[in-house]
Amino acid sequence: MRYEAPESLEGAVALLAGATGEARVLAGGTDLLVQMRADVVDPALIVDIKKIPETRAVTEEQGGWRIGAAVTGAELREHARLKKAWPGVVEAANLIGSTQVQGRATLGGNLCNGSPAADSVPALIAAGAVATLAGPKGKRNLPVEDVMLGPRTLALTKGEIVVSFLLPPRPPRSSDAYLRFIPRTEMDIAVVGAGVSLSLDGGGTITAARVSLGAVAPRVLLVPEAAQAIIGSRLDKAAQDRLEAAARAACRPIDDKRGTTEFRIDVAAVLARRTALIALDRARAN
């Protein structure tokens, strides 16, 4: 098994594009090393992207924020200004695993692991985050909701890596939130996850919103109908009911040991409502 840690995007892309056997990108390794140990994957080449500066930086850009794909959860937690601008994204990232896992786990890895239950992905989708990819044909941008096609299946072509995520500028009175349901208090995989980002006008009416649901379909869903259900409202009871109905209608979950189809659909509706209420409270305070 070959290990390479290139210091440039071009170097990483060339290695991955030229790989003859199975190749894997290593960011935090909290999924990859477990899968290697369990013989789920046996790559011939591992490309560690952590020495590439673009993957490791959090920077302000065009009034928004760019987060490197290999920035760890612990680093996001300590970034006070990012946390203030995007509390939902940071709280979602911080729900992944233990303190030890937070020391390594990354947004890029959480997305590219290709799990519909990934905690940070609904928050990124709700945020309107765009992934910047680097590949043999150069860079391109892809909305996060278009990166994952299904379980363990990504829209990335051979040689492409996720470099960073761009979170858009925030109007005043905007915020976001992420909630998940797990049967414990910590360290578990989401049965359902919900991310909501919204903006208010001066009178407290929702002018823009994005709602995303995790673990209720083969990929993390952007649910425009759920956003439409609350845009133009002050999230009164009627709007909450419409939001719940839209969330329910979007779900196509599996039945498994973590939750039945029926349970997941119920929980998705409840979480969408609660998450929207938290985002609303935060937006009012901004």
Partner 1 sequence: MAKHHIEATVNGDAVEFLCETEETLLDVLRDTLNLTGSKEGCASGDCGACSVMLDGRLVCSCLVLGCEVGGRKIETIEGMAKGESLHPLQRRFLEAAALQCGICTPGFLVASKALLEKNPNPSEHEVRFWLAGNLCRCTGYDKIVTAVMDTAAAMRKG
Binding site for partner 1 (CB under 8 A): 1-3, 5, 26, 28-30, 33-34, 36-38, 46, 48, 50, 72, 74, 97-101, 103-104, 186-187
Contacts of 130 (CB under 8 A, 6+ apart): 141, 142, 143, 144, 165, 166, 168
Which residue lies nearer to partner 1 by CB, 25 or 223? 25
Output Rg (C-alpha) for the chain, integer angstroms.
Answer: 19
Which residue lies nearer to partner 1 by CB, 183 or 203? 183
Shortest Cβ 87–partner 1 spacing (Å) = 18
Torsional sign, CA 137, 123, 95, 85: positive
The residues pairing with 259 across neighbouring beta strands, listed in sequence order, are: 256
Which residue lies nearer to partner 1 by CB, 189 or 231? 189
Which residue lies nearer to partner 1 by CB, 99 or 157? 99
Q: Distance (Å, rounded) from C-alpha 237 to C-alpha 164?
A: 38
Shortest Cβ 98–partner 1 spacing (Å) = 2
Q: Which helix (H) or strand (E) is 73 found in, with range? A: helix 73-77
Which residue lies nearer to partner 1 by CB, 161 or 213? 161
Shortest Cβ 179–partner 1 spacing (Å) = 17
Tokens of 1: 């098994």
CB 230 within 8 A of CB 242: yes
Shortest Cβ 33–partner 1 spacing (Å) = 5
Shortest Cβ 29–partner 1 spacing (Å) = 5
